[in-house]
Chains A and B, each alone.
Chain A
Amino acid sequence: MNPVTDVHTLWTTAAEVPGRIPAPHIEYAQISPTLIVFGAAIVGVLIEAFLPRRNRYTAQLLLSVVALAAAFAAVIGLAAGGFATTKAHLAAMGALAVDGPALFLQGTILLVSLVAVFTFAERRLDPAAHGKRVDSFAAQAAAVPGGAAEQAAVKAGFATTEVFPILLFAVGGMLIFPAANDLLTLFVALEVFSLPLYILCALARRKRLLSQEAALKYFLLGAFSSAFLLFGIALLYGYAGTVTYAGIAEVVADGAKQIDPALAGTMGNDALLLIGGALALMGLLFKVGAVPFHMWTPDVYQGAPTPVTGFMAAATKVAAFGALLRLLYVVLPGMRWDWRPVMWGVAIVTMLGGAIVAITQSDIKRLLAYSSIAHAGFILAGVLATTRDGISSVLFYLAAYSFVTLGAFAVVTLVRDAGGEATQLSKWAGLGRRSPLVAAVFAVFLLAFAGIPLTSGFAGKFAVFKAAAQSGAGWLVVIGVLSSAIAAFFYIRVIVLMFFHEPKADGPTVAVPSPLTTTAIAIGVVVTLVLGLAPQYFLDLAGQAGTFVR
């Protein structure tokens, strides 16, 4: 008997014998990373309520850093305790998996978030307003842009320190997402991390209307895709009579064994399985930004405050691909022949679409958004391998890619003119002459995006393509390499623009950041180079983490 069916029967019979509900058995230690982050988020909310305004920034920053570091330590502890390999199992009544991929992805998400917190806390880039240092976020989110209330808030030196607990809530949701082992937990996790992201997107200090528009678009489309996902979940439940991954997989593999009388009419109906599976996949493809569900990406990436964009682009992708992997490898391996052709198509149009449309972009944030779409396609190629190597290569790619992305967006926050960040590509002309170091660092990230050897991008791309080729997807790899070539064009174009063009007279200046952003960028560069120079150790690590518990 699997635990959730237990719950299910208990639930339907609960009205008769209320006294017999047992307390759910929760392995607190094994899900401690998530609990730490959520606990810290709640403390963060209390800080907002009780601490005086002047102390909040320091307290929130400290709390977030400590919580994320502690959660990361907990992940390491669990992995060292063997939960990544031999002791992998399902915790919390089968709702959450504690296994190699989950721990690897959680570790990645936590590290990425830790670095993201640094960029969130940066307060030296914008010129001080009324004698107070300000960050990238609106003084008071509720104030109408340009209105009197906003001016008053700016003058009073308010700061939206709520971003830290909001970030922590999002991180908590992301930690559950790749570990979720039944469809309901999956859905709840999705909402838990999506809602905070919508809010964060709306909080830009500059260009607030653009920011709010982005948040609204993200919210509307996100809600729309959630509806698809939920509908897909309902259909899958109708098909299998259960929402647990293992339960559905069993039904897919062997057909319905015990037919629940209430579901006798639908159970084992393949149409439900196929439609439900496709819709559930769609919900996840939306989150990873795969074509044709990618439309939100450029608009939201451009409008959101850049630190949020960096966090979102890095951490969301990790979490969503983690969930996608688990869904495909644990729930639907039995129907591989059904979903593989479709996903092939999605991977191809995603790689090509992202790379081609990026060519004509004129805004650096939009460019990076399309680049992230193309990368989603490359990662999908690894996902499609349906082998152990496929899993480990995707895990490695996600870790490598997330740090490059975070670093690249952190650099974007530095290049500024009178209107805030100068994201127009034309303004970046000749940046290499004015600020060689910043331009060189950005060039490293671009080369990593393009997949040039000795950067992490090459190692990651090589790993996913190798896994895909070994699983017989030769054509997919050919198309992937061609897309890479197209993509290389626009990455190199930015490098050419920075180093080989004359600087413009009214060009942007490069702000000198505090150690926070410097640390974030430095970590990005170091990870990019280390994973590029000596990828084997980390590939092995990802390889050890490459088995899902069922």
Chain B
Amino acid sequence: MENLIALLIAAPLVGAALLLCGGKRLDRTGHWIGTLLAVASFAVAAVLFTDMLGRTADDRALHQHLFTWIPVGGFHADLAFQLDQLSMTFVLLITGVGSLIHLYSVGYMAHDERRRRFFGYLNLFLAAMLLLVLADNYLLLYVGWEGVGLASYLLIGFWQHKPSAATAAKKAFLVNRVGDVGLSIAIMLLFTTFGTFAFGPVLDAAGTATSAGEGKLTAIALLLLLAACGKSAQVPLQSWLGDAMEGPTPVSALIHAATMVTAGVYLITRSGTVFDAAPAAQTAVVVVGAVTLLFGAIVGCAKDDIKKALAGSTMSQIGYMILAAGLGPIGYAFAIMHLVTHGFFKAGLFLGAGSVMHGMNDEVDMRRYGGLRKHMPVTFVTFGLGYLAIIGFPGLSGFFSKDKIIEAAFAKGGTEGWILGGAALLGAAITAFYMTRVMLMTFFGEKRWDPDEVHPHESPKTMTIPMIILAFGSVFAGGLFSVNEAFVHWLEPVTSLAHGHPPLGATATTAATVVVLLLGVAAAWLMYGRKPVPVTAPRGSVLTRAARRDLLQDDFNHVVLVRGGTHLTDTLVRLDHTLVDGAVTGTAVAMGGLSGCLRRLQNGFVRSYAAQMVGGAAVLVAVTLLMRGV
């Protein structure tokens, strides 16, 4: 069975190679090849999953060792995979949602002349993401980590003819580099501390915390958190996600909502024992999570661009997951559960948004939508179910997973618990507000578009079918997971589990969640449902204006980092020019000069070549004899 693991990655990798190297002859069939290979990977995942269910809980992890790339002393760079319950969850999510989004893209990208390349990149992304979650050591995880970064860069900038898309891709890449540096240093520290990269030994050793002091583990954990912040768009490295919406909508759905941006949560959960042994770092994690969940939610309230509103929401929801992961064993399983349910409903929402844009000539401004429910019934219903799920409407997926996180936050205990729980609760209210706003502005109210120019219509089957399937997931996944706490127990062997006890009790917390949810919906209805929405945005309050500018994140980055950075680099460049370049250029000039001199020995005359050989032979013989003499 374990031999199938490599096949999971191989299928999309082959697809990427075929589509990217295959040339024009694959233009007509390429998108189906890509989709087929994604589905094939999902099929393998399904087989592995059924097989895994057939074994007992402690016996479920599979390992596959392909080969070792140059072992040197204790340094083993292994190409080896580990498929345990945590990886399996991700694999199913990635290949499942991935396949649906491939299918959706067949319709969405039908008229793009670079469609083959698009599917090649999508397949490349799948392969890299699967590598990330299947790696059995940090080094290989890093390969996947960089791989998804590359795929994300290529796909955000897919419409590279638009300067905004090219800039957004570059921005995403650069911000991610900051996180990647954190990850690479963390991996180096892990290696010097534990002498290996493999998850098993590292995490066991971190758990017993004998070989490494708490200070060192805290440093490692903070660096891992930095990496997670970059990839998962958490404060302070959140600025790239909004701009990343320049990519085609299926990309936003797959990479920037359902899978890649959750890699940070995976990293923290996977490194659980490291974080458990470093309480200071855990505090940092929950702070990052709480701040981001509010930050994203506030930004989401002010955006008129439907995709950017959803991007703010993604940021906020991942904030919930990071918060949960920072709580330790009482939160890991819920972080992953929310991650999966979020994967369903957020992908569904993005696909719905894409469907709306498809019918509205690529208009993204919600102020120019309105009353679309009659024109796009399927999109309306699936988007609506996704909406109910994300705000945590009782009975739907989001309710179960988010409620558990809020409970766990309160259960943290003490003042800390009250602050975190309060933030999570406030976030839930704002979520309800901004998602209701999106819903009302898009599907309800009167038409704010010109019927002569725009003819809204339902999207083709290849697009609606994935939306319908995802809607099913949005409705039922959370409930299914919660039957007898099935999901939590499924993950227990990997993430360990502790039950938290919220100070007010679980029922009260749930009730509070439902109340704030209703408050949020009511507020949105008062503002956007009861009275008409103006086509041009009103000036708004200071907070609204700040939120429209992403709470001034770019201004902050510009003033502090860009200007400061420019000064620093200017100084360094001057030093570089005088000192370093002096030495380097000097060496280069010396070598060039030496080369020019030696070159003259090669004059083209056989006689001088022969003379040099005789000289060489004489030296060879003389030195040999001398050596004996000495």
> Taking the nearest CB of chain A, how far is it from the CB of B600, in angstroms?
10
Tell me whether B627 and A535 are in contact (CB under 8 A): no
Segment at the interface with B among A162-170, A221-229, A382-390: A221-229
Q: In which size bucket is the chain A interface?
A: 35 or more
* Residue A234 CB within 8 A of the other chain: no
Partner of B594, one of A221, A356, A459: A356
Of all chain A residues, which has the CB nearest B596? A360
* Residue A178 CB within 8 A of the other chain: no
Task: Encode contact with A along B62-97: 1 for CB under 8 Å, 0 otherwise.
Answer: 000001111110000000000000000000000000
Within B583-630, which residues are at the interface with A (CB < 8 Å)?
588, 591-592, 594-596, 598-599, 601-602, 604, 606, 609-610, 612-613, 615-617, 619-621, 623-625, 627-628
Contacts of B609 in A (CB 8 A): 217, 221, 295-296
Contacts of B628 in A (CB 8 A): 270, 274, 338
Tell me whether B595 and A278 are in contact (CB under 8 A): no
> Taking the nearest CB of chain A, how far is it from the CB of B16, in angstroms?
16
Partner of A536, one of B67, B604, B623: B67
Task: Encode contact with B along A288-328: 1 for CB under 8 Å, 0 otherwise.
Answer: 00011101101100000000000000000000000000000
Within A486-528, which residues are at the interface with B (CB < 8 Å)?
486, 489
Bound Cα distance A360, B72 (Å): 36
Tell me whether A279 and B594 are in contact (CB under 8 A): no
- Describe B's contact surface by its main secondary structure: helix
Tell me whether B627 and A337 are in contact (CB under 8 A): yes
With A338-B627, A342-B624, A535-B70 known to touch, is A220 a contact of B606 (CB < 8 Å)? yes
Tell me whether A279 and B613 are in contact (CB under 8 A): no
Bound Cα distance A359, B615 (Å): 25
Tell me whether A338 and B613 are in contact (CB under 8 A): no
Within A334-387, which residues are at the interface with B (CB < 8 Å)?
337-339, 341-342, 345-346, 353, 356-360
How many contacting A-B pairs (Cβ < 8 A)? Answer: 101
With A217-B609, A534-B69, A536-B71 known to touch, is A356 a contact of B598 (CB < 8 Å)? yes
Contacts of B72 in A (CB 8 A): 466
Contacts of A535 in B (CB 8 A): 69-70
Tell me whether B613 and A293 are in contact (CB under 8 A): yes
With A353-B598, A534-B67, A536-B68 known to touch, is A224 a contact of B613 (CB < 8 Å)? yes
Tell me whether A275 and B621 are in contact (CB under 8 A): yes
Contacts of B70 in A (CB 8 A): 459, 462, 535-536
* Residue A50 CB within 8 A of the other chain: no
Contacts of A342 in B (CB 8 A): 620, 623-624, 627
Contacts of B599 in A (CB 8 A): 357, 360
Partner of A277, one of B592, B601, B615, B624: B624
Q: In which size bucket is the chain B interface?
A: 20 to 34
* Residue A73 CB within 8 A of the other chain: no
- Describe A's contact surface by its main secondary structure: helix
Contacts of A292 in B (CB 8 A): 612-613, 615-616, 619
Partner of A282, one of B68, B588, B604, B616: B616
Tell me whether A359 and B591 are in contact (CB under 8 A): yes
Tell me whether B624 and A339 are in contact (CB under 8 A): yes
* Residue A533 CB within 8 A of the other chain: yes
> Taking the nearest CB of chain A, how far is it from the CB of B129, in angstroms?
20
Contacts of B604 in A (CB 8 A): 299
Of B69, B594, B621, chain A has the most CB atoms within 10 Å of the CB of B621
Contacts of B613 in A (CB 8 A): 221, 224-225, 228, 282, 286, 292-293, 295
Of all chain B residues, which has the CB nearest A286? B613
Partner of A228, one of B69, B601, B617: B617
Contacts of A293 in B (CB 8 A): 613, 616
Of B71, B591, B595, B623, chain A has the most CB atoms within 10 Å of the CB of B595
* Residue A281 CB within 8 A of the other chain: yes
A-B contact pairs, 30 of them (CB 8 A): A217-B606, A217-B609, A221-B606, A221-B609, A221-B610, A225-B613, A228-B613, A270-B628, A286-B613, A292-B612, A292-B613, A292-B615, A293-B616, A295-B612, A296-B609, A298-B602, A338-B628, A341-B623, A342-B620, A342-B623, A342-B624, A345-B623, A346-B620, A356-B591, A356-B595, A357-B602, A359-B595, A535-B70, A536-B67, A536-B69
Closest 9 CB pairs of A and B: A292-B616, A295-B609, A359-B595, A360-B595, A278-B624, A278-B621, A278-B620, A356-B595, A342-B623
